[in-house]
């Protein structure tokens, strides 16, 4: 299944947020969206997920989701969104309950995603007992449990400290090697985008337009062994967006 934005424009009142955005997220591909603050990254994700309708253009789905997909599109948020009165297992089972999955099948799914996300020994733990990184693993396991065609990830690591972020990037790369999931991944962190993205889409400052699309040919699991090449890509991205990021920061400060 492929997600497509076709010449999308969107405004909030008199403020134009996105201008003529055309891009796709293909099967088994992680597309990272980067750009200055306020450039419309999260709006783009909401339009892709059908939570907002663009003023012009279209958000399209081409092809069929996996036959056993319970939810073709699913979100992973920055704030984990775990229910504190449910255990790790209970938080994952919640989305399966919405689909009336048989208990034996739900048990098999939960066992599988707990193992894939290295959470098996924490199945009965409460969210309050978990670190930020562990909470985000639970959110990812919950998303995987419905076997989505595409995960829509809105800055999922930005609330974590740098060490935990590095560990979770390793985990996501390992998980992609196992599952081959597709994702549209919003981030303000260029190092994160270069580590995780098969393609990086750079937006301009508001209104967000596509300035550049960067394809990275180095396999995900080998990028850590190519620091010079990945650093060069990151530096190129930053040099391309530095002035606009500075202007966007001044613009936001003036508004505040």
Which residue segment(s) compose the domain that 144 sits in? 81-148
Whether residue 155 sits in one domain with residue 143? no
In the predicted structure, residue 212 carries a pLDDT above the cut 70: yes
Whether residue 97 sits in one domain with residue 157? no
Give the residue with greater pLDDT, 79 vs 106: 106
At 121 the pLDDT is: 94
- Cβ distance 71 to 94 under 8 Å? no
Whether residue 163 sits in one domain with residue 138? no
Whether residue 214 sits in one domain with residue 154? yes
At 251 the pLDDT is: 66
At 255 the pLDDT is: 34
Tens of pLDDT, residue by residue over 74-103, are 999 888 889 999 999 999 999 998 888 888
Task: Provide mean pLDDT across the span 145-172.
Answer: 91
Give the residue with greater pLDDT, 229 vs 241: 229
Query: Strand 73-76 and strand 56-62: pairing?
Result: unpaired
Band of the pLDDT at 253, cuts 50, 70, 90? very low
Residue that is last in its domain, among 126, 148, 170: 148
For residue 129, tell me if it sits in a domain. Answer: yes
Whether residue 131 sits in one domain with residue 154? no
Band of the pLDDT at 37, cuts 50, 70, 90? confident
In the predicted structure, residue 66 carries a pLDDT above the cut 90: no
CATH code of the domain covering residue 192: 3.40.50.300
Whether residue 58 sits in one domain with residue 90? no
Residue that is last in its domain, among 123, 148, 173: 148
Whether residue 126 sits in one domain with residue 31? no
**Which of 61-70, 93-102, 220-229 tops mean pLDDT?**
220-229
Sequence-separated (6 or more) residues with CB below 8 Å from residue 25:
2, 3, 4, 31, 48, 150, 182, 183, 184
Tens of pLDDT, residue by residue over 117-143, are 999 999 999 999 999 999 999 999 999
Task: Provide mean pLDDT across the span 14-34.
Answer: 95
For residue 92, tell me if it sits in a domain. Answer: yes
Query: Strand 199-203 and strand 210-215: pairing?
Result: antiparallel
For residue 75, tell me if it sits in a domain. Answer: no
For residue 10, tell me if it sits in a domain. Answer: no
Whether residue 248 sits in one domain with residue 211? yes
Residue that is last in its domain, among 148, 174, 192: 148
DSSP string, 114-148: HHHTT-GGGTT--GGGS-HHHHHHHHHHHHHHT--
Q: How many domains does the chain have?
A: 2
Task: Provide mean pLDDT across the span 200-228.
Answer: 94
Question: Among 13-27, 38-52, 239-253, whose mean pLDDT is lowest?
Answer: 239-253
At 223 the pLDDT is: 93
Band of the pLDDT at 252, cuts 50, 70, 90? low
Q: How far apart, in whole angstroms, are the C-alpha atoms of residue 228 and residue 123?
A: 40
Give the residue with greater pLDDT, 31 vs 248: 31
Whether residue 190 sits in one domain with residue 170? yes
Task: Provide mean pLDDT across the span 230-256.
Answer: 76
In the predicted structure, residue 38 carries a pLDDT above the cut 90: no
Band of the pLDDT at 254, cuts 50, 70, 90? very low
Where is 38: in which H helix or E strand? none
Whether residue 254 sits in one domain with residue 131? no
For residue 158, tell me if it sits in a domain. Answer: yes
Whether residue 49 sits in one domain with residue 170? yes
- Cβ distance 127 to 82 under 8 Å? yes
Whether residue 55 sits in one domain with residue 169? yes
For residue 165, tell me if it sits in a domain. Answer: yes
């Amino acid at each position: 299944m492929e997600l497509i934005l076709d010449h999308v424009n969107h405004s909030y009142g008199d403020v134009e947020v996105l201008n003529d955005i055309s891009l796709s997220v293909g099967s088994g591909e992680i597309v990272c969206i980067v750009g200055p603050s306020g450039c419309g990254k999260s709006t783009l994700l909401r339009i892709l997920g059908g939570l907002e309708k663009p003023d012009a253009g279209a958000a399209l789905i081409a092809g069929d989701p996996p036959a056993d997909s319970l939810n073709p599109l699913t979100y992973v948020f920055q704030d984990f969104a775990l229910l504190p009165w449910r255990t790790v297992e209970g938080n994952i089972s919640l989305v399966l309950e919405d689909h009336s999955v048989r208990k034996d099948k739900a048990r098999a799914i939960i066992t599988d995603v707990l193992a894939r996300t290295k959470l098996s020994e924490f199945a009965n733990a409460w969210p309050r007992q978990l670190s930020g990184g562990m909470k985000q693993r639970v959110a990812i396991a919950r998303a995987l449990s419905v076997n989505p065609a595409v995960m829509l990830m809105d800055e999922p690591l930005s609330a974590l400290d740098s060490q935990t972020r590095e560990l979770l990037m390793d985990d996501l790369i390992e998980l992609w090697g196992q599952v081959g999931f597709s994702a549209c991944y919003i981030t303000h962190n260029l190092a994160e985008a270069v580590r995780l993205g098969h393609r990086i889409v750079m937006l301009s400052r508001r209104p967000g337009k596509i300035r550049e699309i960067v394809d990275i040919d180095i396999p995900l699991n080998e990028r850590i062994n190519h620091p010079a090449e990945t650093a060069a890509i990151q530096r190129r991205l930053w040099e391309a967006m530095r002035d606009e990021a500075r202007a966007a920061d001044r613009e936001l400060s003036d508004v505040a």
